[in-house]
């Protein structure tokens, strides 16, 4: 059974950093596009970042460009989201997702095949 498990969330002050991890199991993800999305209270789920299978092509939402960095370690079946200069508006549940069909990173939620349960990130002002 395919599973994506996020970790690394928590409470941090504005300006601080967190690194999220997403461990994949039950399938082969080394050739899949991986993405991070978030869901904030009162808002719709939104795209954060995506990465291709080799890690040399990434895509970011404008709101996180320059502050967040997505990376992956295919040997460990793990994707990371390094979040720096965090702002209160980054507070959300963060989800990772896997798209087994695409080649280039993208923010199209409907195309992602598998989703994790999410990890809470809270940024205090």
Only one residue has tokens 């939402």, namely 61
Q: What is the pLDDT of residues 6-48, one digit of tens each?
A: 999 999 999 999 999 999 998 878 889 999 999 999 999 999 9
Tell me which DSSP letter residue 31 carries. T
CA dist., res. 21 & res. 33, Å (int): 15
pLDDT on residue 27: 80
CA torsion through residues 58, 112, 48, 116, sign: negative
CA dist., res. 55 & res. 49, Å (int): 12
CA dist., res. 113 & res. 99, Å (int): 5
């Amino acid at each position: 059974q395919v599973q994506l498990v996020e970790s690394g969330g928590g409470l941090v002050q504005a300006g601080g950093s967190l690194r999220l991890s997403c461990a994949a199991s039950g399938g082969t993800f080394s050739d899949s596009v991986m993405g991070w999305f978030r869901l904030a209270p009162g808002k719709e789920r939104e795209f954060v970042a995506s990465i291709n299978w080799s890690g040399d092509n990434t895509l970011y939402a404008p709101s996180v460009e320059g502050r967040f960095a997505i990376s992956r370690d295919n040997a460990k079946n793990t994707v990371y989201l390094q979040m720096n200069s965090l702002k209160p508006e980054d507070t959300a549940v963060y989800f990772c997702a896997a798209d087994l069909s695409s080649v280039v990173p993208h923010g199209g939620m409907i195309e992602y095949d598998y989703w994790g349960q999410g990890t809470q990130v809270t940024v205090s002002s």
